[in-house]
Amino acid sequence: MIRVGVNGYGTIGKRVADAIRAQPDMKLTGVAKTRPNYEAEAAVRKGYPLYAAIPERSDQFTDAGIDLAGEVEDLIIASDVIVDATPSGVGEANCELYETYDTPAILQGGESADAVDTSFVARANYDKAEGADIVRVVSCNTTGLSRLLAPLQEEYGVEKARVTLIRRGGDPGQVDRGPINDILPDPVTVPSHHGPDVKTIYPDVDIDTVGVKVPATLMHLHSVNVTLASQPTVAEVRQLLSDESRLFLVPEVAGIDGTGKLKEFAMDTGRPRGDLWENCIWDESIAVEGNDLYLFQSIHQEADVVPENIDAIRALTGRETQEDSMAITDDRLGVGL
Ligand code: NAD
């Protein structure tokens, strides 16, 4: 059993904690929180040992009637691996603590690639994480792009990728984010940082990205153009992509016209929190003009990195091959629509 602790129990951390609990070869040692809010209450109700992320605030938990299992350093000592899902910048600062206890850690996409031994997407570079002290599971958008580029690169070769990322303004719980009535070039400068981030996974891929932020909370939408080194048919591309467990081809017959119905479908099929762990590629959107492939894909920003964190835990500790780890993760979570 790999003993795993989660430091930072918010949007990503709570999903990763549930996913760890679902694995046959992992034990969730506990979760660390900064304050006794509703997420702390939910963690306790689920039976997760709760640790104070900021020791000076332990009393706040006691005052709120929430029992603590200890402080964050106790969680680190009790764990073989820590998944750090704290806000951007905090994870990097926490690394000193993980190093003190010689406990390897997995950071999230908000951290700098320079702060880690390797950036990670299971489908693309699983083996690079073995034996690393600090691994970064890349952002939701970079994960989605890398998963798509992986089979295209292997099967056809990628000459150039150009992607417009139409990004949700904030997650559903982020009431202070926006815009609420506008469309923002974000960043207004070209290219956006997403292309360089993909290069932390695929250094040799030529990719340019631009970003737009819109008043939406459910998912991101990518408008993708990839110039391939060969000229496959649409049917061949469809087959290639549908063979990938973490790519879901949204069938025309489903009548799913946007991210709202995608999320509705996820909830109707009993997905926890309505999570879509897969890239959702509209089947009808796949088009090939000469060497150019076009498609639309949606990325559920709160969910697609969750299976990647699970695979990163196994990759880092040298357990399981890429194929076996992904298969176990997918089976236990129910990935693959
Ligand atoms: P979040 O704000 O929802 O959750 C972060 C949690 O960490 C909060 O509960 C916060 O109270 C807690 N925290 C703050 N300081 C802490 C500390 N010192 N120690 C322990 N916990 C602390 O954030 P999130 O959306 O889950 O993002 C976490 C990371 O995941 C970031 O790097 C982010 O860029 C990345 N990420 C986010 C998304 C997304 O869309 N939400 C997608 C992919 C990756």
Rounded (10°) angle between helices 11-21 and 305-317 = 60
Q: Which two tokens stand for residue 219?
A: 């998912």
Which amino acid makes up residue 14? K
Q: How confident is the model at residue 83 (pLDDT cuts 50, 70, 90)?
A: very high
Q: pTM for this one?
A: 0.98
172 lines ligand 1 (CB under 6 A): no
Best residue for ligand 1 mutational test, from 6, 7, 12, 74 (most atoms within 8 Å of Cβ)? 12
Q: Does the beta carbon of 309 lie inside 6 Å of ligand 1?
A: no
Q: What pLDDT sits at residue 11?
A: 98
Strand partners, 225: 162, 294
Ligand 1 center from residue 12 Cα (angstroms): 6
Domains and CATH numbers, the chain: 2-138+304-333 (3.40.50.720), 140-299 (3.30.360.10)
Residue 95 bears catalytic tag = no
pLDDT in tens, 28-38: 999 999 999 99
- pLDDT tens for each residue of 123-167: 999 999 999 999 999 999 999 999 999 999 999 999 999 999 999
What does the pLDDT look like over 61-81, one tens digit per residue? 999 999 999 999 999 999 999
Convert the pLDDT of each residue in 206-246 to its tens digit: 999 999 999 999 999 999 999 999 999 999 999 999 999 99
Q: Using alpha carbons, select from 329, 291, 287, 323 the residue that is nearest to residue 308.
A: 329
Instruction: Look at residues 321, 320, 313 and name the one whose alpha carbon lies nearest to residue 28.
Output: 313
Mean pLDDT of all residues in the chain? 97
Judged against a pLDDT cut of 90, whether residue 337 lies above it is answered with no
By residue count, the chain amounts to 337
The mean pLDDT of 239-266, rounded to a whole number, is 98
| Active-site option among 83, 90, 140, 226 | 140
Helix ranges (DSSP H) in the chain: 11-21, 38-45, 58-63, 72-77, 90-100, 122-125, 140-155, 194-198, 234-242, 259-268, 305-317, 322-333
Distance 190 CA to ligand 1 centre (A): 27
Give the separation between CA 324 and CA 311, rounded to whole angstroms: 10
Distance CA 260, CA 124 (A): 29
